[in-house]
Amino acid sequence: MIGCAALGATTVEFSDEGPRAAPARHLPVVLLHGFTGSKESWRELRAELSAARRVVSIDLPGHGGTQAGADLQNYSMQGAATMVMTLMAGRLGTPRFALLGYSMGARLALWIALTHPSRVERLILESASPGIADDAERMRRKRSDRELAAFAESRRIEAFVERWERKPLFDSLAALEPETRDELRRARLRCSPAGLARSLRAMGAGAQPWLGDRLGGLSMPTLLVAGALDLKFAGIARAMAAGITRARLAIIDGAGHLPHLERPSAFNRVVARFLDET
C-alpha cells in the first residue's frame, strides 16, 4: 500500500506492506534509501521481508513523492529524523521497529538510533559512515556538496545523473545486467533537481556532524554491511563495528557500494537472518 501523510510542512510518501499482526519476534522494519533513491529502491527486499513482517519504506525529503517545501531544516538530519519518527509513532502506530538505511539513509538511521535509542530495536547500516571527523575536511566536503547542489539547479536532471554516475564509487555497477543498470538510471532520472539540491545542502556528508565518537552509546544489536569491492566503505564498516558493543559485520563478496542491488540474494539473506534472531 502506498500512503501519504501530512506532517506539518512536509507531506511524506511511503509504502506500508506486510501483516499488521505479525508475531512479536517479527519486528516491523523501516527502510531508508540513499541519495537519488526512493522507497522503490527496496522493491526486492520489501517483497522478501513483507511475507512475515510489516515493512515501511519512506521517501526521504527531496526524493520520491515526499514534498518538504523550501525550508532547508526539513531536509536536515534532524528534520528528516523527526519526519520518520512522527510517521511511525503517530500515523502508523509503530513506535518501536528495526531500522535499515543505505548510504545517506544509513547516516540518517545512525542519527535516529543515537537520538531515539529506545525506539530502535535493531539497526542495519549498509555502506554507512558516521560522518567526517576532521573539521577542515568536513568544510571542504560541504563546499563540494554546495557546488554539486548548484549544478543540479542549473542543469537538466540528465546532466546531473550523468555526472553522479561517473563517481568512482559506482564503478562496480558496470558488472550489473544492462536491464538493472537501465532501471537504476531511470529511477535517478525521476528525481527532482531542486529536491536533490536541498538534500545535498542540508543532509550531505559535509552538513552532518561527526558521530564517530558516539558509536559506543549504541546498545541495540547492529549489523554493518558493505561490499568487498568498496574498499573505502568496507574499511569504515570495520572501524564502526569495532566501536559498537553489539555489532555484527557482513562484507558481501562481489559487491561495491550498493550490495542490495549488486548482490541482492546475499544481501537479503544476511538482513533476514539478522532480523529473525531472538
Q: pLDDT tens digit string along 204-216?
A: 999 999 999 999 9
- Whether 90 shows a pLDDT value over 90: the answer reads no
- Quote the cell numbers at residue 73: 531544516
Q: Which helix (H) or strand (E) holds 109?
A: helix 104-115
On whether residue 42 sits in a domain, the answer given is yes
Please give the backbone phi and psi of residue 233, each rounded to the nearest 5 degrees, phi first.
-80, -25
DSSP annotation of 209 reads P
Residue 164 lies in a domain: no
CB atoms within 10 A of CB 214: 17
Q: What interhelical angle do 77-86 and 193-203 show, nearest 10? A: 110
Three-class SS state of 23: coil
pLDDT of 26 strictly over 90: no
Q: Taking residues 90-110, what's their average pLDDT?
A: 95
CATH number for position 245 = 3.40.50.1820
Residue 187: inside a domain = no
pLDDT at 214: 96
Rounded to a whole number of angstroms, the distance between the first and last alpha carbons of the chain is 28
What total number of domains does the chain contain? Answer: 1
Express each pLDDT in 111-144 by its tens digit. Answer: 999 999 999 999 999 999 999 999 999 999 999 9
Q: Kindly state whether residue 149 falls inside one of the protein's structural domains.
A: no
**Distance from C-alpha of 3 to C-alpha of 65, rounded to nearest angstrom:** 10
Range of the domain at 267: 2-133+208-276
Say if 161 falls within a structural domain. Answer: no
Residue 228 φ/ψ, nearest 5 degrees: -65, -30
Torsion, Cα 14 158 68 117, to 10 degrees, reads 60
Residue 24 confidence (pLDDT) above 80: no
Averaged pLDDT for residues 96-104: 97
Task: Give SS3 for 33.
Answer: coil
Q: Is residue 159 included in any domain, yes or no?
A: no
pLDDT at 7 over 80: yes
For the four alpha carbons of 234, 190, 180 and 151, in that order, the dihedral sign comes to: negative
In the sheet with 10-17, reading across from the earlier edge strand, the strands are: 2-7, 10-17, 55-58, 29-32, 97-102, 120-126, 222-227, 247-252
**C-alpha triplet 110, 37, 174: angle, nearest 5°:** 105
Residue 173 lies in a domain: no
Domain annotation covers residue 160: no
Per-residue burial over 124-148, b = 16 or more CB atoms within 10 Å of its CB, e = otherwise:
bbbbbbbbbeeeeebeebbeebbeb
